[in-house]
Amino acid sequence: MERAASGVERAESNSDTFGESLTMNPISRRRFLSATAAAIGAGLAYPRAGGASTIEWTERRDLYPQGVASGDPTPDSVILWTRRPPTPDSRTRRLVVEVASDPGFTHVVAQGRTSVSAETDWTCRFLAAGLSPAHEYWYRFTDEHGFGSRIGRTLTAPAANDDRPVRFAFVSCQSVTEGACNAFRRMIFEDERRPPEERLSFVLHLGDFIYEVVWYADEKPTRYARRIRDVYRLPEGEKIGDLHVPVSLEDYRTTYRAYLKDPDLQDARARWPFVCVWDNHEFSWQGWQSQQVFDGKTRPAQTKKVFANQAWFEYQPARVRMPNKPSLDAFAPPRVKDAPLETFDDLGLGLEPNNLAAINSLKVYRALRWGRNVDLIITDNHSYRAEPPNMDAFAQKEFRWALPQDAIEIYDNGRAHDNGRPPDTIRFGERDIPNDRKLSPPQSFLGHEQKRWLVDRLKSSTATWKIWGHSFGTLEWRTDFQNLPAGTRPKWRGGTYGMFSGAFFLERGEILDLLRDQRITNFAIVAGDRHSFWAGTLSKGLPPQKFEPLGVEFITGSISAPGIFEAAEYTIPRTDPLRALYVHDRPNGEVWPAVNMSALHGVRAALTLAETGDVARALAASNPDVAPHLSFVDLGGHGYATVRASAGELETEFVCIPRPLERSERPDGGPLAYRAVHRVKTWRPGERPHLVQQIVEGTPLLATKGDRRG
């Protein structure tokens, strides 16, 4: 398996490798391509001499209800996908896939056959090989009755020596039961109107493709001001509180089938190749490794982790690996049982055999190359994640979603804190709380094996831009609750900043130390999960520690899932004395995201805005030490982001749409809230990356370091 996988990498990194294979005799060439397809669990669409299609084909989209998709393109191949389930009057066992260089299929360049069955939930995966680099193709599936899928469009990656700019989108967090996928409609609308050389090459989906937790509309008709849609019901499922969660393979499959009936998501998958990685909701909301957490209690869930992995494999066309299963088109689930984790390695990985079998049943971390300019490095941030520490002792319910930064760092670092000298207790208000993590390993989300792979990939990359596809992002979010005016009630009991998002400090620091020590430049993270837009620079420390930017990071807003500002707007009472740190209630009834100002400028700025309504006076009260790393934060943003990576510059654009409460019928997906562009030029070792921001359209409320007021 490993040999086959490395062979695929050589084909990606050297444009001459596959060119040489074209001179092989037909038997050798077919064996080479078959081995490549087997390595990723796919059937093979063989190259063929160009000519018009001879397949009798009648489009029947109703027979392919989840549409078509392509994924993980290389310069000479791409994976193709569809699902053809049986219907009462039409069953099929065989499919033909055709790949053409024109939408009319007058020049078919690859063709293959495969079977579909209940074993894979009637899905199939094809490796279309022998293709040309940086080329646009069309593909379709046809059953033995002549009934065809819709026609999909895909693109191959440029060859390794191709210096052309690379443009792609990155997205995350689509909850089809709570909102609409208008962002995909906007993305398609804009891309269709661009010149060919400026169109997107692929879409990077950074996870929460599905939400495994679901409300049923008859039990919970609304959330905030959103209508809960009755999109599907889990055939088995378990009800926990007012949520329903999957318990079987069929439950996970049902969720994917329902999500992929969304017309805008389906259209996007038919237009571009997707590169996908999971976040948490593809398995379990608060889960880690193969364990689930509900109501603060951990449940062994190795069987459900395998179910989740299998469903992901069946519905996402990706070059992922099933260890020791090199020749299977279908997922090969290991036999596991649910068992508690009792022994761990020094990064918190549970060594229980069923846990290891479950999390290793599918390895999704991988790297893909787009010409000279982009090395896309994708990690799995949940399968190897250590058990999150319980920090309930430090929670103050009035300071929503925040914990003391010093306590987070001590718990996160474990026995490695302060160079191996962790404190016995942590001061919190008038109490000294025992440090329960004093003897525990530091928190890790990568694990040993994946971390070694990531380090090796960063050290060996020759691309201009090393782009880490990171599902949940690393930019810290904090504010200076310690600077609240004297007499503020409730009183902040933490000794320093309140942190909303920040973890894995030592592991993140190791990666940033690597960049500095190995003189690796032009490093960027693109991320999702936070349901908000972020732009900033990467530093191992923030004031009062040393601030030393070594890379840049961009986080995209959600496609449709609600964000923190929306939650604050509807859950924090207007009489709450701390509401002003989260929500700015305007005299005209409008609400603005004061939480943006708290994150960028600190609590005094947010309070000044509440008192005066004057943004300029609020900015004058800014604390520059709160967030020197951040240049943009919009905790209410929905939409997507695009990247343009060239030999001299990386440009990231945030495309923000209004809260997607209902599906827009407009061809452009509805109005635009704003468009913000962030540019950074390549930098040399010893130089700091410098972000330059431009608001191209609209007004991102309170989201920048300057006066953006609306």
- Show which of 156, 171, 190 is a domain's final residue: 156
CATH of the domain at 38: 2.60.40.380
Whether residue 73 is contained in a domain is answered as yes
Whether residue 5 is contained in a domain is answered as yes
Whether residue 448 is contained in a domain is answered as yes
Q: Which helix (H) or strand (E) holds 425?
A: strand 425-428
pLDDT of residue 298: 98
What mean pLDDT value characterizes the chain?
93
pLDDT of residue 39: 61
Whether residue 347 is contained in a domain is answered as no
pLDDT per residue over 238-281, tens digit each?
999 999 999 999 999 999 999 999 999 999 999 999 999 999 99
Would the pLDDT of 25 be above 50?
Answer: no
Would the pLDDT of 1 be above 60?
Answer: no
- Give the mean pLDDT of 104-114: 95
How far is Cα 659 from Cα 639, in angstroms, rounded to an integer? 9
How far is Cα 256 from Cα 258, in angstroms, rounded to an integer? 5
* pLDDT tier, 92 (very low <50, low <70, confident <90, very high otherwise): confident
How far is Cα 259 from Cα 66, in angstroms, rounded to an integer? 9
pLDDT of residue 36: 64
* pLDDT tier, 323 (very low <50, low <70, confident <90, very high otherwise): confident
Whether residue 532 is contained in a domain is answered as yes
Closest CA to 283 of 243, 257, 252: 252
* pLDDT tier, 11 (very low <50, low <70, confident <90, very high otherwise): very low
pLDDT of residue 91: 80
Whether residue 106 is contained in a domain is answered as yes
pLDDT of residue 515: 98
Would the pLDDT of 328 be above 60?
Answer: no
Whether residue 43 is contained in a domain is answered as yes
Would the pLDDT of 40 be above 80?
Answer: no
Whether residue 15 is contained in a domain is answered as yes
How far is Cα 396 from Cα 489, in angstroms, rounded to an integer? 12
Would the pLDDT of 116 be above 60?
Answer: yes
Closest CA to 53 of 177, 140, 144, 180: 140
pLDDT of residue 88: 86
* pLDDT tier, 354 (very low <50, low <70, confident <90, very high otherwise): very high
* pLDDT tier, 326 (very low <50, low <70, confident <90, very high otherwise): low
Would the pLDDT of 20 be above 80?
Answer: no
Q: Report the range of poorest mean pLDDT among 52-61, 323-332, 434-443, 509-518.
A: 323-332
CB 149 within 8 A of CB 61: yes
- Show which of 137, 156, 175 is a domain's final residue: 156
* pLDDT tier, 364 (very low <50, low <70, confident <90, very high otherwise): very high
- Show which of 156, 174, 208 is a domain's final residue: 156
pLDDT of residue 90: 75
How far is Cα 343 from Cα 232, in angstroms, rounded to an integer? 39
Would the pLDDT of 2 be above 70?
Answer: no
Full domain range(s) for residue 601: 392-414+442-698
Buried b (16+ CB within 10 A) or exposed e, 147-160: bbbbbbebbbbbbb
Would the pLDDT of 27 be above 50?
Answer: no
pLDDT per residue over 142-196, tens digit each?
999 999 999 999 999 999 999 999 999 999 999 999 999 999 999 999 999 999 9
pLDDT per residue over 379-414, tens digit each?
999 999 999 999 999 999 999 999 999 999 999 999
pTM summary value: 0.94
Q: Total structural domains in the chain? A: 2
pLDDT per residue over 611-635, tens digit each?
999 999 999 999 999 999 999 999 9
